[in-house]
Structure 1
């Protein structure tokens, strides 16, 4: 018998408590064998594929930039387009998109984003005019007010091309343009202001929820939704809405060259079709984006021009790239592989 077996015999031959006959006897302890570790070859392969992919992307971006730069002087005919204002070598019409909710999100649908592109167009001698491609139902009143002011201060011609929706704060911004195009079926206008305060107190009562708001004044919690508004608070908020709406009306009247009374009559909060908007003075003409570009060039006094899209610059880091490719199952495996390599110390920061 081996030493190991002798040791086991000594251990298991120690006096043991008497067990009733028929009970299973204890077995020696053991450790489950570890599963064999997977090889790292597939991980290295996936990492290599990613590296090659990144090199190809970088190469394509570099080639595209170089091609745009070298071809800039050849795109001097009407209707041509370049992707970066820095590569312009001839007269151009810039296109800025206002798409989605007007708010503070850094895009061209925000004051900061719009101003950045207007400044870029203002300071570039090749950009002679701007087309605003608007597809928005409005948004935050203050953001719209700031964007309206920036557009009003812009010194070069501005033409609006309305897509499916040009309403509320988006229309207030558009009203400062030199010319407004709309499609026949565009929903345009919606001159009006709204404030929403939800009263949840009835629901809380049914659920047995009681909320005590401790405030410095009686009306501090008026907008929290935990109780109904008092008559005085409702009148106060109505006055606030009326003040903001009056600013809206005055802005549109000034931008469109209409009387305040005429605009007030249209300030029903409802949108109009593009056809009705042309008739009532909120828009100038039925037309397309190309029509708007031609009009902008005409107002700028140029016959040959290129177009350039003015948008916020975006950059992709490694995680952004993985997010873009995230719909692929292979990418999921690659992300897991990279994480495993990092945990094993093969990738260091």
Structure 2
């Protein structure tokens, strides 16, 4: 029996080592949390005996998708749902006077980006609480779309932003299938029912339909930017919206952002907008996701649901196929 146990644990250890070398994975062995409600942690406090007012920092990082993030032996939070949950918590707390969005994202799907933008606008309309977006690292495409719903945008000096535009990536395996003697047959109700299928090369009529959709979503993006960045003339904005990314300095010159600074600057600006002199800075997270300062990232914002061993997989491995994206493509999470 002892030898069998030794063999079992040896095999388990070797399996974990092999998995660790197969890609950008991470292991976390921990007890399963018994509850998943958001908790609040204070990460900064102005001096004073009595400081009741709060500034809530809400993270938006990684790929913006409207589904749970997936991994091996675990399932994480839905980024859209988590964002709305945090907004709701900030809305319900009367002591929260303003919100700082801490962005580090290349964007995501058109649908997810727009839902988050709409939720932010509704939060502002219903509560009257100001929102400052602070870009750390990446604030591109869908993340910039979201930032345009705030009252002001601060970008860290080493960050990039912009990438205004829409993209859809698809591919064809028709040539490969032909080489191995496999032929796909689609029984369909209409000529375009298999629109964009990788089982055949993209036809001219399909491309025309998809380009029309891309154009509509692009115009939607421009409308959102125009609402949030009123200082940019429409003609100039269209010139900037060719998909390129901008450094913080370039973005400031083009009026895509308001200031260059750090999270502390975003927090101070939020206090100014709401007239608060002193405040406690708080952050929301799942249990086990304690944050020590304004630069820490919570491990459990991906949510550990019923998993003792957490093996994280990059989001692109769990893609649901071709989608319409507000995304800066070089980024792979």
* TM-score normalised to structure 1 length: 0.66
| Contact 2:196–2:206 (8 Å) recurs in 1 | no
User: Is the helix fraction higher in 1 or 2?
Assistant: 1
Q: Does 1:180 align with 2:153?
A: yes
Q: Does 1:275 align with 2:222?
A: no
Q: Does 1:134 align with 2:103?
A: yes
Q: Does 1:294 align with 2:280?
A: no
CA distance 1:184–1:89, shift in 2 (3 Å): closer
Structural mapping, 1:1-349, within 5 Å: 77=46, 90-105=52-67, 110-153=79-122, 154=124, 155-257=128-230, 258-312=232-286, 320=307, 322-323=308-309
| Contact 2:163–2:243 (8 Å) recurs in 1 | yes
1:227-260 deviation per Cα after TM superposition (whole angstroms, max 9, x unaligned): 1222121111101100001000100110111333
| Contact 1:76–1:90 (8 Å) recurs in 2 | no
User: Where does the alignment leave 5 or more consecutive residues of structure 1 unmatched?
Assistant: 1-34, 40-52, 59-64, 81-87, 326-349
| Contact 1:98–1:108 (8 Å) recurs in 2 | no
Give the superposed CA RMSD.
3.4
Query: Following the alignment from structure 2 to structure 1, what is the Cα–Cα distance between the partners of residues 252 and 273?
Result: 20
CA distance 1:129–1:277, shift in 2 (3 Å): same
Q: Which has the higher contact order (CA 8 A, sep 6+)?
A: 2
Q: Which residue of 2 aligns with 1:11?
A: none
Query: Following the alignment from structure 1 to structure 2, what is the Cα–Cα distance between the partners of residues 160 and 194?
Result: 24
Give the SS at the match of 1:310: strand
Give the SS at the match of 2:169: coil
CA distance 1:248–1:323, shift in 2 (3 Å): same
Q: Which residue of 2 aligns with 1:13?
A: none
Query: Following the alignment from structure 1 to structure 2, what is the Cα–Cα distance between the partners of residues 205 and 196?
Result: 22
* TM-score normalised to structure 2 length: 0.69
- CA positional deviation for 1:165: 0.6
Query: Following the alignment from structure 2 to structure 1, what is the Cα–Cα distance between the partners of residues 157 and 51?
Result: 36
| Contact 1:183–1:286 (8 Å) recurs in 2 | yes
User: Is the strand fraction higher in 1 or 2?
Assistant: 2
Tell me the number of residue pairs that the alignment of Structure 1 and Structure 2 aligns. Answer: 256
- CA positional deviation for 1:77: 2.2
User: Where does the alignment leave 5 or more consecutive residues of structure 2 unmatched?
Assistant: 6-29, 69-75, 289-299, 312-333
| Contact 1:98–1:136 (8 Å) recurs in 2 | yes
